[in-house]
Structure formats: C-alpha cells, structure tokens
Chain A
Amino acid sequence: MAKTILAVDDSASIRQMVAFTLKGAGYEVIQAVDGEDALEKANKHTVNLVLTDINMPRMDGLKLLELLRKLSNYKTVPILMLTTESGDDIKAKGRAAGATGWLVKPFDPKRLLEVIAKVIG
C-alpha cells in the first residue's frame, strides 16, 4: 500500500507542488491548509509522514507538532518541518516540539523525495 503523507502549508502553490511531486513518486497525499486543518485530518487518516510548514495562520507548524505528538498514534510518526526559516532558533523550537527533521524552502522536488525516502523509505 502506498504510504500516506500529510502535507501542511497555507500557500496553495507550495502545497500543490509538494502534493504533485509526492503523488508522482507514488505516495498518497493528504493536504491541509493550516495546523487546525492538519490536526483534524491527522485524526481521520492514518498518516506515515507529516510534512508541515511553520508559519501559518490559525495554528502554526510548531503548535501542530506539539499537538500531534500528544496523540498516541502520532508519537513516532516522522514529522518534517518545511520552512523558509533557516535560523537555528526555529529549528531548536521545532526540535523541542518533536520534529523529526527539517527541510528548507525553497527546495527542489528531487531533494524533497530524497529526504522523504530517507525517512519512510
């Protein structure tokens, strides 16, 4: 069965590009527009990996991370932060919130797939 990835980004272009790239590589993709949306969708579906933006309206990626990690079935699901913020500060915060790793935007689709393959194979 294809692995399912939850892609969270408030920017439709980025989100759809991510989804397109991932689908092309044979993953199932669920899209969410912000943290709240993602949390809801994470509850409804079984997800093998979460790819989330940090800076989003309503609920940001850090809060999402924190809340996801509180869910019993998301304790060990890999969560990657997809962010333009490359400072150590944000990474430290992401790490504290339970992120598995990070990936800076802008990224190229090849690298995205590479990183994801490393995490969920």
Chain B
Amino acid sequence: MSNDLEQFYEIFFEESSELLADMEACLLRLDVNSPDLEDLNAIFRAAHSIKGGAGTFGFTDMTETTHMLETLLDKLRKGELEVRSEMVDAFLKAGDVIKHQLAGHRGEGEADPAEAAAVLEELKKLSDETQAPPKQEPSNVQTQTDAPQEKPPVVTNSVPAPETLAKNSYCIEFSKFGLTDAALDNLHNNLKSLGSLQDKTASGEHDVCKLFLATDKSEEDVWETLAFVVDPEKLKIESVAANNAEDKVSQIQAKNNSESVIHDEDEEMSLDKMPPAPGYGFFPDAPAAPREDGSSDLVAKSSNQNADQRQAAKSSAKAAPAAASSEASSIRVSIEKVDQMINLVGELVITQAMLAQTASQFDPVVFEKLHSGMSQLERNTRDLQESVMSIRMMPISFVFSRYPRVVRDLASKLNKRVELKTVGENTELDKGLIEKIADPLTHLVRNSLDHGVETPEKRIAAGKPAQGTITLRAFHQGGSIVIEVSDDGAGLNRAKILAKARERGLPVHDGMTDQEVWLLIFEAGFSTADAVTDVSGRGVGMDVVKRNIQSLGGRIDIESSFGVGTRISIRLPLTLAILDGLSVAVGDQMFIVPLNYIIESLQPTSADIKTVSGNGRVVQVRGEYLPVIALHEIFNLKPNVTSVHEGILVILEAEGHKSALFVDDLVGQHQVVIKSLETNYRRVKGVSGATIMGDGKVALILDTAALVMASQQEMV
C-alpha cells in the first residue's frame, strides 16, 4: 500500500505549506498581551493537521516537531500557560524547521537535524515551565498506537499497562449480573491461568465480583479474557502497583458488603465488545457498533433497527430538500489541468471567431437563425473564457502574507520599529504573476525597511512617530493590477542620487525631473546607501526588480518626497495568458500591439514629420519630438503606404519613453490568447509572442518595450 501513498505526498506537501503559512500569519498577528483564542486554536489546528499527515506518511521528524509544538500550544489555548513573546519566536522557528523538513522530504534540500533538535529543546523548555504537571513526553509521538491509548474508553480509571513482562497487578471489578455460576467459574479459571488470582469479593456483595490478579500479562490480555463474558460497561480493571494493591482492594471491600446472587442464563446483557486491537475501538452501546460472533438479541435487534433506519434514511433523503446553502468548498486541481483548459478555451475562442467571420458573409435576413446562434455562441464563449481565466486568479494575500515575517525579522535586525499595513489583500491576479511578483516585491519591502524607514531616534528628531509604517496596497485599475509599496521614511535624496550617478559616469544633469532622477536607482549597480549592510545596499536588486517587472509586461514608478516617504508602484497586466491588444495592419500582415502601451493614435500631417540626420525620422506631437518606428522596415515587409502622413501613427510609451509606430491601418481591438513563439518557433527580436486571429491567420504580438527602446537608442 505504501506506493499508493506516494501520490498523496504532493497534496500533503502543498497542504502543509499552506498550513505553515497560515500558522505564521496567525503567529505574527498574535498579540502577546491579549492573545486571541481563535488564533491560538487556528495555530494549534495547523500544527495538529500537519502532525496527522506527517504521521500518516511516515515523516517522523515532522511529527516530532509538530507534536512538541502542539503540546505547548495546547497548554496555551487551555490557559495553562501564558503566551510570551519568546514562545512566538520559538513557534516561528519551529515553523521554519518544519518548512525545512518539508523541503527535505520534497527533495528540495536537506533539513538540519541540529536545528530541529534545538527548537525541540527550546519548545520543551518553554512547555515545562508550567505549574501544571508535565504532559506526556515528546518522544511519545510515534507511540500513539501503543497500548496506553488502545484501551477501550470504557475503562475509565485505568493506568497504562507496561508492555514489559514484569509482574502487573490489577484490581478487577465487574457486575455478576447475567452470569451463570459456570460462567463465573470458567472466568475464574481463565484468570487463574494468567497469574495468581485472589477473590476479594466481600461477603455482602451480591452483584459485584472483585478480584485481585497478579500476572505477567498485559492489561489487554486480562481485558480480553473478561470482555467476552462480562458486560464491558460494568467491567473495571485497575492497574495497581504491587505494594498498594492489597490496600486498594480492601478499600473497595470495605465499602461494599453483599452476597453474590446467581442469575439465570441470560446472555442479553453481554453486549458485544471488541477486544482491544491496535489503534481503534468501538463503544459497546453506541449506535451501529459492529457485531461479533454470537451476538446477542439486543444487538441483533439494534441492527434490525439499523436496517430500518437506513431504509428510512433512504426515503427521507429522497424527500429531503437540498438543505443549507453550500458554502465555500473547494477542490484542488493541478495547475496543468487549468492551463490545458485555458488553452482549449483559447482554441475555442479562435474557432468561434473563425465561424463568426464565415457567418458574416451570409445574408442576415435569410440566415437570421444562424446569426442569432452565432451571437449566442460568442456570448457563451466569452463567459466561458472569463470563468476559466478566473480559475487561475488568486488573491494577492498569497504574496502579502509572507511580508509580516520579513518585516518583523528585518526590523529587529536593524533596530527599527516598523508596522506593516496591507490593503486590498483580496485583489486577485493570475497565479503565474503571483509567483513571479513575490521576489521583486520582497526586494522593495526590504529596501523600504533598510533605506526608507529611519531609526526611531532619527524619526523622533524629525518629529515623526518612532514607529515607521510600510504599506502594501493592491488594487485594480483598468485592465491592470497596481501594487504599491510605500513607506513614511526619509524619502529619496535627489542630490545624493545625482552625485552617485555622476560618480558612476551616468549621463545626468541638474535639470532632470524628479521622476527621471528616481528612475536612476533602477540602474545596475546603483546604490546610495552610505554603508553596505547585509540587508540591502549592495547595489544589486533594484535593476533586477525592474527587469523582472518588465518581463511580466508591467512597469514600475516611483514617487518620493524628501523627509516624507517613498511610494513605488508596480503596474501589471491582470493575466499572462490573455492580452488586450490593438491589431494593426502592415501590408498583408497583422500585428498586435498591447493596449497598455498605447497612448493614442493619430494621422500626422506631412509637416509634422521631420527627417533627422540620415535615416532617422521624428514626428512632432504636441511639441514633443518622437522617433518614428516604421514597422515594415523592421520586419522587411511591403507596406500599402510608404509615406508617414498617409498611414497611421500609434504613439507608444514604454519605460518613460515615447515613440510613434508607423502602420498602414488600425484594424480593431481584440482580446488575444497569447501563444509563445519561442516554444513553437524561436525567439524573434521585437516580437513577444503570437496569437491566432479569427480568420485562422497567425498575428505576431509586438514587444513594444523593446521596439521603443531600440528607437530611442537610434535617436541618441
């Protein structure tokens, strides 16, 4: 069966990572002074669930850590211990350890046993500081299936029986009601065969039998011997230390004195009882408890009832209305399946567009039904596409949730006091983007903390509250999602950046706008940090951030005010799979220009076009001279129009630079499904991908940013 288990590993890994993340989030928002019981419970549940899974899959190291975590958490939620900040730290560390262990099992690196041992030790110490009696040893983790837990719960007073062969002593007490003399004798004999038996039944007791048994056997064996004969409800086995066993028995004796009464054969009371078996048990009088061989009438009756009830259940289930509205329930689907679906829907959209184009050639009056069918198909396709795309959408909280920890750790390292606020965590964006945005965002948050927010002393001196604030905000704007990282720190220092840029030989001058100056920090190797710390300031980072954002089709902007704060905003397309584009025609070819780069399109007069030094052409648009990119020249096509004023100029903006794209004609606005050109063909300069148009032809999607940058360089 173990091989079958492996297919569930992946689910367990994912689930555990999520649980760990939840746990961390709860820990971070936990107020040590007045801990929220709900949070404690949630943390406990997370640890508990991980432990359960880890145990099932045999990841003992994880079970150990989670068990220790659980033990301490249990004390906290029961109020046996007060929450202290060391505990939160220890929990966080334990979370890290589990994460590493998880990664280890996933085959992504190796967990450090020493690290785990240290955390275990720490947790144990914290947990032992309670006034309450110490709970079970952590080493018991894997022994849940051992004897102590296997006792049927009806044995309420019992103490775990040691597994060893050492002499055990038991006080046995049970009701004689329903037992024949012969049965009692038989029982006595059976018990005698286990060890030395003493009858301690007082003379006055008529319905109770008390025995004292010293035996090599475990409590379970004793139980087993008795359980088939005696009503387990009325059976009590108490393990006693040999020296005080006698006392106990006599105590019991003293309380009762009656005479034994023999009853007729009446097996009805001997409800079936499962002998204790590893790791499970049944409550004898519970509904639908299983029958053993030779089951009593009572059980048979109850099982008949059972059948009746099931019958009733069937009929009433039919009649029962679908009760209670279904609340959030979810299924886990692999991302490949979703992607495949998105692809198929993409194909469907193309097919639909093709059909629509063919249908449009038919007379709408004669083929009215065809046309109404086509418009219905179009609506349905669009709805389907939207809902399929929404599957890939995830709330940005998946990324945001990691930052409280980052900020917490970093702030304490830098001796700064920082509060992290998040706004719009529920804003959704494509899963692919979520994964790729995390690293750049981490850079930005770390930068804000290191360079932005000042030390408490400096802040107080500047008349600000000692605690700084970093705000993460996400919201939708048009077809994009905007993510902002802002701080109320010192702001960017214009003079310093300019000085640094000069030092590095960058082309700068004092007349540059603030916006242009701020963008300098995205240059490779640029850092204005006075001292290089191990947090940031090594000059790698911002340029990488910018590159990453751009590769996602996004752009990054900075606003900053000296002494007040800095806000960096990232603007990203909602999804990587579909793009809003303008289709433009050049000759017999069609190209797609991503809509978010387009500012406007215009038909220039010939007077606006200027030719500069040789082949370069610029167009004057509202006092600005923009380089003209002639698409037919780049792709070596035969255009329908060659002079700019006969065609159309599409004004593009990328990375703060504007250029004018010269095309024959504008065709229309489409939502296109992006197909990778690289995987289907090869990488082509100036092209970021391809799509299939309604007529089945392939149209290339322009890499607008690259085209604009290339045209700017020609200008220089």
At the interface, yes or no: B283 with Cβ under 8 Å from chain A?
yes
Closest to B11 in A: A13
Q: Is the CB of B289 within 8 A of A84?
A: no
- A104-B306 contact given A20-B8, A77-B288, A99-B286, CB 8 Å threshold: no
Contact between chains at A84 and B317 (CB < 8 Å): no
Give every chain B residue within 8 A of A44 (Cβ-Cβ).
Answer: 317, 320, 322-323
Least CB distance, B38 to chain A, in whole angstroms: 10
Q: How far is the CA of A57 from the CA of B48 in the complex (A)?
A: 12
Task: Judge whether B56 and A14 touch: CB under 8 Å.
Answer: yes
Using an 8 Å CB-CB cutoff, how does the interface string of A33-54 with B read, 1 for contact, 0 for none?
Answer: 1001101100111111000010
CA distance A105 to B49 in the complex (A): 10
Residues of B within 8 A of A74 (CB): 313
Interchain CB contact under 8 A, A78 and B288:
yes
Cβ distance A6 to chain B, nearest Cβ, rounded Å: 12
Minimal Cβ-Cβ distance residue in B for A90: B153
Whether B12 and A91, one on each chain, are in contact in the complex, defined by CB atoms closer than 8 angstroms, is no
Number of B interface residues at 8 Å Cβ cutoff, please give it: 58
Given contacts A14-B56, A55-B48, A92-B153, contact A104 B4 (CB under 8 A): no
**Which residues of B have CB within 8 Å of A110?**
1
Cβ of B634: which chain A residues have Cβ within 8 Å of it?
none
CA distance A24 to B281 in the complex (A): 23
Cβ–Cβ < 8 Å partners of A11 in chain B? 15, 49, 52-53
| B286 interface neighbour in A88, A95, A111, Cβ under 8 Å | A95
Complex contact B282–A100 (CB within 8 A): yes
Contact present for A40 and B326 (CB under 8 Å): yes
Task: Name B67-122 residues within 8 Å CB distance of A.
Answer: none
Residues of A within 8 A of B11 (CB): 12-13, 16
Say whether A91 contacts B153, CB under 8 Å: yes
> Which residue of the partner chain, among A37, A46, A91, contacts B317 with CB atoms under 8 Å?
A46
Instruction: Name B16's closest neighbour in chain A (CB-CB).
Output: A13
Interface centre among A76, A88, A94 (most CB of B within 10 A): A76
Is B287 interfacial (CB 8 A cutoff)?
Answer: yes
Q: Among B49, B55, B286, B309, which residue has its beta carbon within 8 angstroms of that of A101?
A: B286
Which residues of chain A (96-118) have a CB below 8 Å from chain B? 98-111, 115, 118
Q: Report the bound CA distance from A11 to B306 in whole Å.
A: 30
Given contacts A76-B302, A106-B55, contact A37 B329 (CB under 8 A): yes
CA distance A94 to B281 in the complex (A): 12
- From B143-151, B243-251, B477-485, B621-629, the one touching the partner chain is B143-151
Asked if A40 meets B324 with Cβ closer than 8 Å, knowing A16-B8, A46-B317, A88-B156, the reply is yes
List residues of A (15-36) whose CB comes within 8 Å of B's CBs.
16-17, 20-21, 24, 33, 36
**Interface: B376 (CB within 8 A):** no
- The smallest beta-carbon distance between B125 and chain A, in angstroms, is 24
Assembled-state Cα–Cα distance A46/B42 (Å): 32
CB of B56 within 8 A of CB of A105, answer yes
CA A102 to CA B55, docked complex, whole Å: 17
Q: Are the CB atoms of B309 and A20 closer together than 8 Å? A: no
- CB of B204 closer than 8 Å to a CB of A: no
- A84 interface neighbour in B12, B52, B151, Cβ under 8 Å: B52
Annotate B278-311 by CB proximity to A: 1 below 8 A, 0 otherwise: 1111110011111000000000001001100110
A109 CA to B310 CA in the complex, in Å?
Answer: 26
Known: A10-B49, A17-B5. A101 touches B15 (CB 8 A): no
**Beta-carbon contact of B283 and A104 below 8 Å:** no
Chain A residue with the shortest CB-CB distance to B55: A106
In the complex, A95 Cα to B55 Cα: how many Å? 25
Chain A positions within 8 Å of B524 at CB level: none
B42 touches A57 (CB 8 A): yes
B312 at the interface (CB under 8 A from A): yes
Q: Say if the beta carbon of B638 comes within 8 Å of chain A.
A: no
Nearest CB in chain A: distance from B173 CB, A: 18
Chain A residues with Cβ under 8 A from B57's Cβ? 13, 106
Q: Are B149 and A14 in contact (CB-based, < 8 A)?
A: no
Contact with B along A63-93 (1 / 0, CB 8 A): 0000001001111111110001011100110
Cα–Cα, bound, A12→B302 (Å): 34
Given that A14-B56, A16-B8 are contacting pairs, would A111 and B317 also be in contact in the complex, using a CB cutoff of 8 Å?
Answer: no
Q: Is the CB of A46 within 8 A of B283?
A: no
B48 and A98 form a contact (CB under 8 A):
no
Whether B503 is near chain A, meaning CB under 8 Å from some CB there, is no
**Cα of A94 to Cα of B152 in the assembled complex, Å:** 12
Contact of B56 among A73, A106, A115 (CB under 8 A): A106
CA distance A100 to B302 in the complex (A): 13
Q: A73-B312, A76-B287, A103-B280 are in contact. Are A84 and B302 (CB under 8 A)?
A: no
Identify the closest chain B residue to A104 (Cβ): B279
Q: Which residue of A lies closest to B280 (CB)?
A: A103
Say if the beta carbon of B316 comes within 8 Å of chain A: yes
| A86-B49 contact given A17-B56, A36-B327, A100-B287, CB 8 Å threshold | no
Task: Report the bound CA distance from A48 to B290 in whole Å.
Answer: 13
Contacts of A94 in B (CB 8 A): 283
B290, A118: Cβ atoms closer than 8 Å: yes
Q: Do B324 and A43 touch across chains, with their CB atoms under 8 A apart? A: yes
CB distance from A83 to the nearest CB of B (A): 9
- A84 touching B55 in the complex, CB below 8 Å, given contacts A100-B283, A100-B288: yes
CB distance from A35 to the nearest CB of B (A): 12
Residue pair B309, A119 in contact (C-beta under 8 Å): no
Complex: how many Å from CA A43 to CA B324? Answer: 9
Annotate B503-529 by CB proximity to A: 1 below 8 A, 0 otherwise.
Answer: 000000000000000000000000000
* Residue B332 interfacial (CB < 8 Å): yes
Contact indicator A105/B55 (Cβ below 8 Å): yes
State which of B5, B149, B302, B323 has its C-beta within 8 Å of the C-beta of A86.
Answer: B149
Whole-angstrom distance between the alpha carbons of A94 and B306 in the complex?
A: 20
* CB <8 Å contact, B312 and A108: no
Decide if A77 touches B144 in the complex (CB within 8 Å).
Answer: no
Residue B502, interface by CB 8 Å: no
**B405 interface residue per 8 A CB criterion:** no
B320 partner residues in chain A, CB cutoff 8 A: 43-44
- B279 — nearest CB in chain A belongs to which residue? A104
With both beta carbons as reference points, the residue of chain A lying nearest to B152 in the complex is identified as A91
Q: List 29 A-B contacts (CB under 8 A).
A: A13-B9, A13-B12, A16-B11, A24-B4, A33-B330, A37-B329, A46-B313, A53-B52, A55-B48, A57-B45, A76-B309, A77-B287, A78-B290, A79-B287, A79-B288, A86-B148, A86-B149, A98-B287, A100-B289, A100-B290, A101-B280, A101-B286, A102-B153, A103-B280, A104-B279, A106-B56, A107-B280, A111-B279, A118-B290
Q: Identify 13 new A-B residue pairs, CB closer than 8 A, beyond the known A44-B320, A77-B309, A91-B153.
A: A11-B52, A17-B8, A48-B310, A72-B309, A73-B310, A75-B287, A76-B287, A77-B313, A100-B283, A105-B56, A119-B288, A119-B289, A119-B290
Chain B contacts to A: CB under 8 angstroms? 1, 4-5, 7-9, 11-12, 15, 42, 45, 48-49, 51-53, 55-58, 144-145, 148-149, 151, 153, 156, 274, 278-283, 286-290, 302, 305-306, 309-310, 312-314, 316-317, 320, 322-324, 326-327, 329-330, 332
User: Which residues in A have some Cβ–Cβ distance to B below 8 Å?
Assistant: 10-14, 16-17, 20-21, 24, 33, 36-37, 39-40, 43-48, 53, 55-57, 69, 72-80, 84, 86-88, 91-92, 94-95, 98-111, 115, 118-119
Q: Which 3 A-B pairs have the closest CB atoms?
A: A73-B313, A101-B282, A86-B149
